[in-house]
Amino acid sequence: MRALALIGVFIVAKLVVLAGHPIQRSWWTPLAYFWQDIFVALAFALVDRIVARPWFGWMLYGAAVAYVTINVGVERVLSSPLTWPMLGAVGGALSDSIKRHATPANFALMSVVVAAGIAFPFLMHRLKLKAPVALIIPAVLLVPLGPFASSRVDTIGLDRNPIMALASSALPRLWWRSADAQADEDWTRSPVGANLAGEGLSRWRGKARGRNVILILLESAGARYLQPYGANRDPMPNFSELSHNAILFENAYSVYPESIKELFSVICSRYPAMETPSESYSWITTPSIAEALKSAGYRTALFHSGRFMYLGMYDVVANRGYEVLEDAGAIGGNYESSFGVDEPSTVRRALEWVDSLPADQRFFLTYLPVAGHHPYDSPEPHPFPGDTDEGRYLNALHYADAALGSLIEGLRERGLYDRSLFVIFGDHGQAFGQHEGNYGHSLFLFDENLHVPYLIIAPGLISEQTRVNRTISLIDTAPTILDLVGLPAPFGYQGRSALEADSRMALFCTDYSLSLMGLRDGCWKYIYEKESDRSKLFDVCEDSDESRDLAAQEPERVAAYRAHVLRWSAAQKALIARGKS
C-alpha cells in the first residue's frame, strides 16, 4: 500500500513540476517522464517488504514525501531536482537567493504534494487497495526501457525522480582511462578538419612590457546584455566606453559556467574537471598568472567582494602567487548581503593597496566583483525597471559598472591608467529562460550561459576598437597576458595566447545538474548530454538563438564531436584527480 501511495505522490509532484512546460509528444513520452518514479517506488516496495516493520515503512515513506516536496520548489525554479553538486552549493552565501524564491505560489504548489502524501494512504486504507501482481509485473518489465525512452524525448532533465537524481549524482557519471590522462593532446584542434586562419594580433606581442596589469572578472556578465555586443540597452556605459579603444573578442566562451572553477581556468590556464571538488584544485602545481608575474617583479593582490568560503574558492586562490588576498570579510563595507560586500568598498580597498606600493613598482591587481549574481540586489535599484529578474539583473550590472568606472578613475587620478594593461571579461553568462527551463548560469551550456564579453585595453597603445570574430576561451587569458607583457607562458598551460592567428575550438562543461559537455568550432556549437546520450548541434552563425538542432543532419560531425568531448572531459578528470601539473 505504501509503495502504491508513493507512486501516486511521485505522479502528482511530476505533474506540478511539468505544469507550464512544453512537452515533446511521442509514444515514448509517458515512459520517459515516469520510469524513474516507477523504479524508485519498486525499490521502496522491496525495502519495505524486506524490513517488514510498519514503523520503518512509514518513516521511509514520510522522508520520501518530504524530500520530493522540497524538490518541487527547486524544480519549478531551476528545472532540476537537487543533485549532490547543487547541495554542495547551498549555504549561507545563497541565503538571500533562497529567500527570493520562498514565495506563496511555491509554498502552495508544495502543499499540493504534501496533501497527496497524506491523502493517498488514507484513501487506500479506506478502500483496502493494494498493488496487484498484474500491475507490478508490467512495471518491472517497463523500467528497463526507461533509459531508451529518455533518449528519444528531450525532457531537459525533468524526467528525473528527485531521489534517484540525488543518488545517481553522488556516483561517478564520467569514467576515464589512464591512457586519456597521459596523452599530451591539443584539445582545441578540431576533429573534423583543419583550423582556419583568423585575425592576427601578433603586432601586440610584448607591446605592454613594463605595464601594470589589471584583471577584472565581471560576475555573471553575459555578452548578449551589453551594448558593444548588440544589446539595445546599455547597463554598463563605462564598459562600453572602454570598448571604443580596445581589442574586443566577439566570441569568448567560459569553460565552466560557475565562478570558482572558471577562476581556476583563468588564473592557471588549466581546464577544470567534472565531478571534482574544489579542494582538488589545490593539488595542481601549474604556476598561475600571479606566480608568473610575481617572478617577473610584479607585486600581486586579489580583492573579492564575495566570500572565499563559498564553494571552496580559497582552495583555488590560496598559494597561487597572490601576496594579498582579501574578500568581503576582510574588506567590510557600508552594505552587506549574504553573498558579500558593496563594490565601492572593494574598489576603495584595492586603490589603498595600490597607494601602499612604491611609485615605480609594477603590480598585478585582480578584482572580482560579486554584483551581478542572483538575487541581483544593488543599493541603488535603477535605471531599469526592477519588477522582473532580468530588470534587476541589468541594474546589478549597472552597479558593477559604476564600480568599474570608479576603479578606472582612481587609477587615472594616480597617473597609472596610461601605464596599465586591462583585461576585462565576464566570468560566465546568465540565463532568463531563453531556452526552456534555463535560468541562472550553472545548469546548461547554451550561449546565454557561456558567451561573455571580453576586452583588452592598453591606453595609448590600443587607440581604436579592434573587433576579433574568431573563438577564444577564458582559459586563454593567462598566456595572452604574458604574451602582451613579453613573458613566456609556464609549462602546463592548456590555453593559448589569443594573439595567435589561427582559430581554435573552445571547450566547456558543467555537472551541477545534468552532465553536459560541448564545444564551439567555428560556426558550429555542439552540446552532449551524458545521461541520455543525446547530442545537439547548432550553426550559431546562422542561428544565434540555438533554436534549430541540426544533429540529425550531420551524423558524422556529431560522432566526431561526441568522441572528442568525452575523451577531453575524461582526461581532465583524470589529470585533476591525480594532481598532475
Per-residue pLDDT of the chain (581 residues; tens, 9 = 90+): 788 899 999 999 999 999 888 898 899 999 999 999 999 999 998 898 898 888 898 999 999 999 999 999 889 888 899 888 888 776 655 556 666 667 788 888 899 999 999 998 888 767 666 655 556 777 777 888 899 998 899 999 999 999 999 998 887 776 655 445 444 688 999 999 766 666 779 999 999 999 999 999 999 999 999 999 999 999 999 999 999 999 999 999 999 999 999 999 999 999 999 988 888 888 899 999 999 999 999 999 999 999 988 878 999 999 999 999 999 989 987 766 666 789 999 999 999 999 999 999 999 999 999 999 888 888 877 899 988 999 999 999 999 999 999 999 999 999 999 999 999 999 999 999 999 999 988 999 999 999 999 999 999 999 999 999 999 999 999 999 999 999 999 999 999 999 998 889 999 999 989 999 999 999 999 999 999 999 999 999 999 999 999 999 999 999 999 999 999 999 998 888 776 55
203 burial type by CB count under 10 A (0-12 exposed, 13-18 middle, 19+ buried): exposed
3-state secondary structure of 124: helix
Strands 247-253 and 466-473: parallel
Cell of 215: 584583471
CB 251 within 8 A of CB 451: yes
Per-residue pLDDT, 297: 98
- 207-503 topology per CATH: Alkaline Phosphatase, subunit A (3.40.720)
Other beta carbons less than 10 A from residue 333's beta carbon: 16
Cis status of the peptide bond prior to 383, with omega within 30 of 0: yes
Domain chopping of the chain, boundaries = 2-169, 207-503
Nearest to 549 by CA among 564, 529, 527, 576: 527
C-alpha distances (whole Å) from 57 to each of 3, 24, 51, 70, 293 are: 9, 36, 8, 20, 62
Cell numbers for 556: 558524422
On whether the CB atoms of residues 239 and 225 are closer than 8 A, the answer is: no
Res 581: pLDDT: 55
Taking phi over 0 as left and psi of -120 to 50 as alpha, with beta for the rest, 311 belongs to: left
| Distance from C-alpha of 348 to C-alpha of 341, rounded to nearest angstrom | 12
Q: Which helix (H) or strand (E) holds 571?
A: helix 555-578
Q: In 10 A of CB 30, how many CB atoms?
A: 12
pLDDT at residue number 92: 54
Beta-carbon-side half-sphere exposure of residue 191 (alpha carbons within 13 Å): 20
Amino acid found at 211: R
Q: Enter the pTM of the model.
A: 0.93
End-to-end CA distance of the chain: 56
pLDDT of residue 194: 65
φ and ψ at 304, to 5 degrees?
-125, 125
Nearest 5°: phi and psi at 336?
-130, 145
pLDDT at site 495? 96
Collapsing DSSP states into helix, strand and coil, what is residue 253? strand
